Structure 1
Amino acid sequence: MEDLTSYLDRSQVGSAVGPEPSDESLLGQFANGDAMAARLLTDRLGPRSFSVALRMLGNRSEAEDVTQEAMMRLWLMAPEWVPGQAKVSTWLYRVTMNLCIDQRRRKRPETVENAPEVQDISASVVDQIQDEARSDALQNALEQLPERQQQAVILRHIEELSNPEIAGIMDISVEAVESLTARGKRSLATILAKRRDELGYENG
């Protein structure tokens, strides 16, 4: 099976002049035997699935495995896809989150392995260390949230999805999404406030 990192780093294949095909259209083309459609859809949706998995699991290797499994399930489901039933991205986010939940229940991660950030060569070593500490602190704080709050916060404030999109993914009302994200943000603020001085946040 193709290594996830190879397609995450691969440049997206250029499309012909005109509007880009929808996720649903590409999935239908793949179901009809178009391998290029699968590659385009993978380039488009794979990184989104990986981003959510990485934040939920805090472990790059496990996130890669989850993303590969989620994409594999998408390909297997393609022939049975009912147009207009749901957005392909919504379906994939839901599957990714469920796989992450299953993974965490099977094995609690012993360490947090955040995705390596691209280093700014102009930044001082101290600044780089502090940036890494802040990223680690955010990941640790996210992992302390209740499961549903964590999911809502990741989708809203990291993936930047709309509340209606998140409601569809989590199968709850928009009001419930708003409540979960608000409570999650308050909890994160409380957790991170204990480390403000350590992380170099001097002002309120």
Structure 2
Amino acid sequence: MQMSEGMRVIEATEVPLGASSSDDTLMEFIKAGDQRAFRELVTRHLDRVYAVALRILGNRADAEDLAQDAFLRLWTARERWEPGRAQVGTWLYRVVVNRCIDLRRKSRELAVDEVPDVADDAASAVTTIHQGEMSRKLDDALTALPEQQRAAVVLFYFEDLSNAEIADVMETTVAAVESLLKRARKKLRDVMRGSEADAYHLFDA
């Protein structure tokens, strides 16, 4: 997945930028219109931002559009960026989650056939679920969850965020996140009941 060619950026003076540069350092150069810094930030975060959108929406085209939109919003708001107020990754997650929730509320009929299997190296409990029918059943169960519950589940199980980090992304309290996850787990357990025991117990409180 690549960013749109339509985005115009300014090439800045040659400076040493790369994987070792922090997000805040990159943002300082991006504020000045540095193209290479922006490309490095996109390379660093695009895959995970896209994965979150895809898991919430279940549609590749919409997920790609929303991921690109998040970076476009970051670019257009770059001059207002203040280091220390929020982590770049958290800000991007917040934009994507909010846009996904808005889109799902507008259109409830989302395709689930294109939702990919969880990557082998994903740091989450859901990676233990067997492939095939079990994965499809879980995708259906996730799609049926209310928007905010699904977002919380995706961030917790697929992105391995803590409750506090999810609360920051969703701009709510840790208690509210715990409540969302508790209700989501109950619904997922109900759907997965009668399935293989290891998948069912993944969603024990």
So what's the TM-score if we normalise by structure 2? 0.76
Aligned to 2:70: 70
> Which secondary structure does the structure 2 equivalent of 1:176 belong to?
helix
The answer to whether the Cα contact below 8 Å between 1:24 and 1:83 also exists between their aligned partners in 2 is: yes
The alignment covers a number of residue pairs equal to 179
Aligned to 1:25: 25
Write 1 or 2 for the structure with the bigger share of helix. 1
Structure 1 residues 53 and 118: CA distance shift in structure 2, 3 A = closer
Aligned to 1:80: 80
The answer to whether the Cα contact below 8 Å between 1:59 and 1:109 also exists between their aligned partners in 2 is: no
| Sequence identity (%) | 43
Amino acid paired to 1:190:
D
Question: Counterparts of 1:102 and 1:81 in 2: how far apart (Å)?
Answer: 24
Question: Counterparts of 1:44 and 1:202 in 2: how far apart (Å)?
Answer: 37
Structure 1 residues 80 and 181: CA distance shift in structure 2, 3 A = same
Question: Counterparts of 2:183 and 2:118 in 1: how far apart (Å)?
Answer: 31
> Which secondary structure does the structure 2 equivalent of 1:131 belong to?
coil
Question: Counterparts of 2:159 and 2:42 in 1: how far apart (Å)?
Answer: 17
> Which secondary structure does the structure 2 equivalent of 1:180 belong to?
helix
Aligned to 2:141: 141
Matches within 5 A, 1:183-194: 183-194=183-194
Aligned-pair CA distance for 1:72: 0.7
Structure 1 residues 188 and 118: CA distance shift in structure 2, 3 A = closer
Matches within 5 A, 1:46-195: 46-117=46-117, 131-194=131-194
Aligned-pair CA distance for 1:91: 1.0
Q: Which runs of 5+ in 2 are unaligned?
A: 5-15, 121-129, 201-205
So what's the TM-score if we normalise by structure 1? 0.77
Aligned-pair CA distance for 1:119: 11
The answer to whether the Cα contact below 8 Å between 1:60 and 1:113 also exists between their aligned partners in 2 is: no
Aligned-pair CA distance for 1:170: 1.0
Amino acid paired to 2:192:
L
The answer to whether the Cα contact below 8 Å between 2:117 and 2:135 also exists between their aligned partners in 1 is: no
The answer to whether the Cα contact below 8 Å between 2:23 and 2:88 also exists between their aligned partners in 1 is: yes
Q: Which runs of 5+ in 1 are unaligned?
A: 5-15, 121-129
